[in-house]
Structure 1
Amino acid sequence: MTKPPFRADHVGSFLRPKALIDARAAFKEGRVDAAELRQVEDEAIRGVVAMQEGLGLKGITDGEFRRTYFHTDFLLQLNGVEETGGTQVKFHNHGGTDLEYAPPVMSITGKVEHARDIQRRDFEFLASVTRQTPKVTIPSPTMLHFRGGRDAINADAYPDLDQFYQDLSAAYRAEIASLADAGCRYLQLDDTNLAYLCDDTQRENARKRGMDPDELPRLYARIINDSIRDKPADMTVCVHLCRGNFRSSWAAEGGYEPVAETLFNELAVDGYFLEYDDPRSGDFAPLRHVPKNKTVVLGLVTTKLADMESAEDVKARIDQAAKFMPLDQMALSPQCGFSSTVHGNDIAMDQQAAKMRLVIDVAKDVWGEL
């Protein structure tokens, strides 16, 4: 593929180097200022860009090195959005030991507005230090609805939820227009909620918050479509579905069947990054709903474990997926980022690079030169 998503691609985040983690701690403690922190971030981003280009990747991110969480750092820059504690969740892992963790909940305390450019400056720096296609990853607009529901949206600001959905989409359109004006042509929306709607426990939790889990996929497709409706024709927009990615643990399980028809046929994106690294993501049968004009990037290589998959096993999984959709509409990536939060997964830098080499080598074998 000459345009994104690429045959060998990735979700976006990479493990933070120690110098960056130390600088972030120093900033929090007041020992360095914002300008000094940004200098360290810039240098770290140059390094992660060089790593990606050295491996042969065509889509390049900044590793999300300027963020603490994949979503809050972005969402809190919208007017009307505040962080109000967390929702306690059990995160599961392959070791069988649950992690008790409360991901931050965003509350709507006033009218949602796009008051300033959020990612433009960061994109412009990334574009200046890569020779390949720079990709921007931002949280899906649905992240401001699912975890809190009606109770997290101020009724004085929004007695009518439809107005909230309209304002939210308008704020995203403004940010996407800003990025497009800066030259961004590869955008990814990171969405945990459509994947959580594949999990029976999460669906029941949604009901307890007053939401209908059967109707939410259509609502979320409408919000996302409204958010991206004015994008340039040559901008590729993909969505990444994630079941939780915190310190090698996850929060949800279940195959894509409950959301598949809406996901693939009502959501007006160009491609999908789907987790498929282990049985918690279900089988490939939902891929039968993928229409002819869309690409599915199969996340067959896990970022949660250091153990290396074999190239033969990954190729066999691709063959299984090809029973449900054309091979030519597929690509390959890790199942998620390596560091969706600053904490990172339980994997080493060299193992991270080895995982990406595997993705690239298998993609070359299956689809030819990248």
Structure 2
Amino acid sequence: MVLRDTPPFRADHVGSLLRPPELLRARADHAAGLIKDAELRAAEDEAIRSVVELQRRAGLRSATDGEFRRTSWHMDFIYRLGGISPADEKIKVRFHRKNGDIEFTSAALRVHDRIRLDETIFEDDFAFLRDATAGTGVTPKLTVPSPNMVHYRGGPASIDPAVYPDVAEFWSDLAAAYAEQVRRIGEAGCRYLQFDDTSLAYLNDPEQRAMIAERGDDADHLHLRYIEQINAAIAGRPEGMRITTHMCRGNFRSAWTAEGGYDFVAEALFGELDVDGFFLEYDDERSGGFEPLRFVPKGKMVVLGLVTTKSGVLESKDGLKRRIEEASRYVPVDQLCLSPQCGFSSTVEGNELTRDEQLAKLALIVETAEEVWG
């Protein structure tokens, strides 16, 4: 067994990274009107160059921009789709952690017109990352929310029935917009694209399925529609583009939303979703066991998210190796990789650990992967 030359890599990470204090200050100054757009962009550029170098020094084969230009991992993308805008009402999501629940509030979304792609979203951001990694041997990776995220949070109530009297047309337009985004970002040089998705993980939680059923969706089969949507979005992917998905149970200030293993969606997910790799959360008992991995077909990669981003406590290398060995009972070890369980900063606030602790976790992942697969 050897280290891989194509994504996902044996040692990889999900995407978002803790924002440096200098960037947080620049964002605050921009929000207060103290600096202009160009000054904020320059601060972001400097922070991204630095964090790309951090990833390279840690030994990672891929690098993201840390999602440093975003406030939220998903809404910054979704609101730029044609036909979608923030709604007046607010959505409150309860997140759980061991020392008490916290609440995340954001604007809802409204589908007020036919969904379309008016611009290549994050094109300039990716171009900067592409240029920042040029000549380093590191592959630039772009993360975007999956198309399912447009539907999951608001459901049918977020779609104007005057625009889409037939919901099948909503799904068709959404897939077409995403397919065009994939094509265009491929033209910009992207060869490693990740669809971040909470819906397919949330649907394993009986409480989430009950909520989905209460609002009028088919909770027992919605995951099949979501798998179909991603497949439609990536069916025409450019040659040489590797696409992964990360299935998250919620990540906000070290808290989570959903619980439960991947059992409910596993057979359809692993058997039918046409991605090259699956980033899966497996950092604690909330994640369930490795048994669902028995449905992973030959040729698909599983990136085990064994290293938590929820705290700065560093895992043991021997413990990680034991868990990789345990997972290999269900899927061959040559189809496995290692990563953190989620991003370190899905929103601008970040999780409750230090940047030094973040770096130590990335270095641990690289060292462990080299000893297991190198």
TM-score (norm 1): 0.98
CA distance in 1, matches of 2:260, 2:361: 24
Code of the residue aligned with 1:206 in structure 2: it is I
Code of the residue aligned with 1:88 in structure 2: it is K
Q: In the alignment, what sits opposite 1:140?
A: 146
Quote the RMSD (CA, aligned, Å): 0.9
CA contact (8 A) 1:11 1:333 kept: yes
SS in 2 for 1:108: strand
Percent identity, aligned pairs only? Answer: 51
Q: In the alignment, what sits opposite 2:83?
A: 80
2:94 is aligned with 1:90:
yes
Q: 1:153 aligns with which of 148, 159, 163?
A: 159
Q: 2:279 aligns with which of 265, 273, 297?
A: 273
Q: 1:115 aligns with which of 107, 113, 118?
A: 118
CA distance in 2, matches of 1:189, 1:106: 19
Code of the residue aligned with 1:186 in structure 2: it is Y
Deviation, structure 1 residue 102 = 2.7
SS in 1 for 2:330: coil
Deviation, structure 1 residue 35 = 1.3
CA contact (8 A) 1:264 1:289 kept: yes
Deviation, structure 1 residue 104 = 4.1
CA distance in 1, matches of 2:104, 2:209: 19
CA contact (8 A) 1:17 1:44 kept: yes
Q: In the alignment, what sits opposite 1:186?
A: 192
CA distance in 2, matches of 1:102, 1:45: 27
CA distance in 2, matches of 1:283, 1:231: 32
Q: In the alignment, what sits opposite 1:357?
A: 363
Deviation, structure 1 residue 26 = 1.4
CA contact (8 A) 1:218 1:262 kept: yes
2:213 is aligned with 1:210:
no
Q: 2:235 aligns with which of 229, 233, 257?
A: 229
Deviation, structure 1 residue 103 = 4.4
Aligned pairs for 1:280-299 within 5 A:
280-299=286-305
Residue range with higher mean Cα deviation, 291-300 or 118-127: 118-127
Q: 1:66 aligns with which of 44, 65, 69?
A: 69
SS in 1 for 2:264: coil
Code of the residue aligned with 2:276 in structure 1: it is D
2:323 is aligned with 1:320:
no
CA distance in 1, matches of 2:112, 2:14: 31
Q: 1:127 aligns with which of 107, 127, 130?
A: 130
Q: 1:106 aligns with which of 101, 106, 109?
A: 109
SS in 1 for 2:171: helix
CA distance in 2, matches of 1:290, 1:144: 27
Code of the residue aligned with 1:244 in structure 2: it is G
Code of the residue aligned with 2:47 in structure 1: it is A
What is the CA deviation profile of residues 55-92 of structure 1, one whole-angstrom value per residue up to 9, with x for unaligned ones?
Answer: 11111100000000000111111111112243322211
CA distance in 2, matches of 1:339, 1:86: 22
CA contact (8 A) 1:248 1:346 kept: yes
CA distance in 2, matches of 1:293, 1:153: 38
Q: 2:53 aligns with which of 50, 55, 66?
A: 50
Code of the residue aligned with 1:93 in structure 2: it is R
SS in 1 for 2:263: coil
Q: In the alignment, what sits opposite 1:18?
A: 21
Q: In the alignment, what sits opposite 1:345?
A: 351
Q: In the alignment, what sits opposite 1:246?
A: 252
CA distance in 1, matches of 2:92, 2:23: 28
CA contact (8 A) 1:306 1:347 kept: yes
Code of the residue aligned with 1:313 in structure 2: it is G
CA distance in 2, matches of 1:171, 1:4: 25
CA distance in 1, matches of 2:225, 2:103: 30
Q: Structure 2, unaligned stretches of length 5 or more?
A: none
Q: Structure 1, unaligned stretches of length 5 or more?
A: none
CA distance in 2, matches of 1:209, 1:82: 21
Q: In the alignment, what sits opposite 1:309?
A: 315
CA distance in 1, matches of 2:29, 2:354: 23
User: In the superposition, relative to structure 1, how do residues 188 and 165 fare at CA in structure 2: closer, same or farther (>3 Å)?
Assistant: same
Deviation, structure 1 residue 196 = 0.4
Q: How many residues align?
A: 367
User: In the superposition, relative to structure 1, how do residues 104 and 256 fare at CA in structure 2: closer, same or farther (>3 Å)?
Assistant: farther
Code of the residue aligned with 1:278 in structure 2: it is D
CA contact (8 A) 1:72 1:104 kept: no
